[in-house]
Amino acid sequence: MDIPGYGLVKGEWDLRVGVKSYLGGDSVNFKGKRVLEMGAASGFLTFTMEKMGADVVGYDLSEDFDWDIVPFARLDYKEILNSRRGHLRKINNGFWLNHKANNSKAKIVFGTVYNVPEEIGKVDIATFGSILLHLRDPFLALQSALRLTRETVIVTDLPLTEVKGRSIFRRRLNVQGAKMDFLPDYTKQVPIDAWWRFTPGMIQLYLGVLGFENTVVTHHTQLYQDKPHELYTVVGRRTKPLPK
Ligand SMILES: C[S@@+](CC[C@H](N)C(=O)[O-])C[C@H]1O[C@@H](n2cnc3c(N)ncnc32)[C@H](O)[C@@H]1O
């Protein structure tokens, strides 16, 4: 990201060129909208949406909360949780540095996705940028945020494609054809911090249950370590109004 006063800071993902499609393309207008951004990280999307006219409330873990680490019995779970908390402190610091550099008015609330506080109040749009794959219970995370969301939800995630190594593991266990693929491979104890690949259809089913029955799926390419990777975005519109 380009940080005013600091210049270009490199990261694993470079969403600068494709950010519009990452956020659902022309079908979503952020101007004047109150947005709840799930998994704000160091704020690249926060400040981008703010520049598009949104009033953003970010939401993320801090060092007081635990990441949904995969509890592989052969690994030291407590040690991994602790080192992740140190990592979260750095990410949170990045957010505040960016916040200041961008002269931002965005807010951020810290907690786990499963307990989004009612006190945030109602929002027009909720975004889930590459976060559901990291969650043990993605449905509960959606439910927790969408109970406050009046109009639109934007979910961006990685597609369900066979990954070398994982497919071998799958074949051995004879588990195939799921629309939601369970990533943890206990024969290699990886990944420790990701759980799922979903087809866009899976996300559409989740959203439909929660009252967002009108959905549109788009596919786009983003840069990961300077190489193009395909992602998808599901934009869901609320068809069952929020109870008063
Ligand atoms: C891969 S980053 C995505 C950042 C950004 N939304 C984007 O699309 O570029 C995932 C974010 O979700 C947050 N996260 C992961 N698990 C979480 C949880 N259980 N509760 C709240 N936030 C979580 C992480 O701290 C991280 O900032």
Residue 78 domain flag: yes
* Structure tokens given for 13: 């993902």
Round to whole Å and give the CA distance between 72 and 76.
8
CA distance 58 to 90: 16
Domain assignment of residue 10, yes or no = yes
Q: Which pLDDT value is given to residue 168?
A: 53
Report which ligand 1 atom has the smallest distance to the Cα of 60.
Answer: 22
Nearest CA owner, ligand 1 atom 6: 129
E-state strands within 115-201: 123-129, 149-157, 180-182, 196-198
Q: Is residue 174 part of a domain?
A: yes
Report how many domains make up the chain: 1
Instruction: Name which of 17-31, 79-93, 107-121, 201-215 the model is least confident about.
Output: 201-215
Q: How far is the CA of 41 from the centre of ligand 1 (A)?
A: 6
Which atom of ligand 1 approaches the CA of 129 most closely? 8
Give me ligand 1 centre to Cα 129, in Å: 8
Which pTM was predicted?
0.94
Name the burial class of residue 4, with classes exposed (0-12), middle (13-18) and buried (19+) by CB atoms within 10 angstroms of its CB.
exposed
In a domain, 82, yes or no: yes
Res 8: pLDDT: 96
Residue 244 forms part of a structural domain = no
Identify the CATH number of the domain in which residue 181 sits. 3.40.50.150
Among 35, 61, 65, 133, residue to substitute to test ligand 1 (most atoms within 8 Å of Cβ): 61
Dihedral sign for Cα 117, 123, 129, 130, please.
positive
Ligand 1 pocket test, pick from 14, 19, 38, 131 with the greatest ligand atom count within 8 Å of Cβ, gives 131
43 in a domain, yes or no? Answer: yes
Residue nearest to atom 16 of ligand 1 (CA): 67
Taking CA atoms only, the protein residue closest to ligand 1 atom 24 is 39
Predicted confidence band at 178 (pLDDT cuts at 50, 70, 90)?
very low
Average pLDDT of the chain to the nearest whole number: 93
Residue 43: is its pLDDT beyond 90? yes
Question: What end-to-end distance do the CA atoms of the chain give, in Å?
Answer: 40
Between CA 195 and CA 182 the distance in angstroms is 6
Give the model confidence (pLDDT) of 5-26 as tens digits. 999 999 999 999 999 999 999 9
Which residues form ligand 1's pocket by a CB distance below 6 Å? 39, 41, 44-45, 60-61, 67-68, 91, 112-113, 129-131, 134-135
- Among 65, 109, 134, 139, the mutation site with the greatest number of ligand 1 atoms within 8 A of its Cβ is 134
pLDDT at residue 167 is higher than 90 = no
What range does the domain containing 10 cover? 2-237
Six-digit token string for 10:
């490199």
**Looking at the domain assignment, is residue 242 inside a domain?**
no
Q: How far, in Å, from the CA of 40 to the mean position of ligand 1?
A: 6
Does 200 fall in a domain?
Answer: yes
Task: Please state, in angstroms and as integers, the Cα–Cα distance from residue 3 to each residue in 53, 95, 102, following that order.
Answer: 19, 11, 7
Q: Long-range pairs for 74-82 at CB < 8 Å and ≥24 separation? A: 74/186, 74/189, 75/189, 75/192, 80/192
